[in-house]
Chains A and B, each alone.
Chain A
Amino acid sequence: MPLPMTEAPRTQPAPSQDADAELVRRAATGEMRAFEALYRRHAGRVHGAVWRLSGMNEARAEELTQEAFIRAWQKLASFRFESAFSTWLHRLAVNVALMDLRARDPEDAVESDVLEAASEPVIPFCAGERADLEQAVAKLPPRARAVLVLHDVEGWKHEEIGRELGMAVGSSKAQLHRARGLLRTMLGEAS
């Protein structure tokens, strides 16, 4: 029996770690209601991360969110409470999104994607509107977008990004530089 949904807010407050730990212990014994409560508490953060990494593709992000929680359920017994559950879950969700990105993004297609993205201005664009920035980010080539989102939005370091994406720190920095340049180009051309 699903717990009732809250009034469909677009954002959630940060869940407390103690309550998470108790729910994780109960869910690890197979208690679905506890896991549902974890879903309710963390769905927003997980979905937000995979939504940004998928280029703001809502349908794809919903699939990735589901996949992340299925994997979390399957791997709950391996969670050792050494970090916050939210951190573990977020990392797992990002991995799910990056695996998906890797499967859909042959590296040799990146160059043409870059050229395409740079040549297409974001329409319509009004300076200062976040939706337009999201639209521009969504148009970045997948790998460059992943680096930009992980670094500039999620606050990761280049070393972490390099490990996750299997690239050198220098490559991560170069991708970030390129992504920022493309963003400036797209936003500048359209303004």
Chain B
Amino acid sequence: MTEFEIQRNLRAMNAPRMPGRDLWPAIAARIEAGESAPHATRRRWLPLAAAAGTVLAIAGSLLFVTLRDHTGGPIESDDYAMATQFQRITPQEARDEALRSGQDPRLAGANIVIDAAHSELQQALEQHPDAVFLVSLLNRTNAQRMKIEQLGAKAG
């Protein structure tokens, strides 16, 4: 098959395709079971999204600070305090929790903030599943989580 034929056949795949069975009875049953009639959720997700965005920004700052700390840079204690205060825990509590769970205590604050951001974004996305920017924010939290994990692995 030539490149042209592949492209032509790929474009031809963009056709509606009915499910093999009627899905409506199952959909109707789930709707009726949930009693989730259409309701005005307009903009209700915005405060959540804004909060999640703020948490993500803090997480980014905290990760940056943690990275600098890891590479021998000065500790930005104000940023760290701000991030942990947002979660209403002290740095000492974060370190204790990290030690209990076997994590690197230097990364505990960043992990907590990332978890909070992820949770809030998931909640916002459930309320507004077609919001593209929420998916992007969620992906950014996942990327930052991976950076933290990689950093933890490098630190041993």
Contacts and interface: CB of A to CB of B under 8 A. Distances in A.
- Verify that A and B bind, or say they do not: yes
A104 B28 CA distance: 27
Q: Report the contact-size class of chain B (Cβ under 8 Å from the partner).
A: 35 or more
A139 B142 CA distance: 25
Q: Report the contact-size class of chain A (Cβ under 8 Å from the partner).
A: 35 or more
Main secondary structure of the interface of B (DSSP, over half): helix
Contact of A27 (B25, B38, B133): B38
Contacts of A163: 132-133, 135-136
Contact of A77 (B1, B42, B143): B42
A153 B10 contact: yes
A152 B18 contact: no
Main secondary structure of the interface of A (DSSP, over half): helix
B132 A32 contact: no
Nearest to B139: A166
Given A75-B41, A180-B3, 9 more contacts: A10-B18, A11-B16, A12-B16, A12-B18, A75-B129, A75-B130, A95-B129, A155-B14, A183-B6
Interface of B: 1, 3, 5-7, 9-28, 30-31, 34, 36-42, 125, 128-130, 132-133, 135-136, 138-140, 142-143, 146
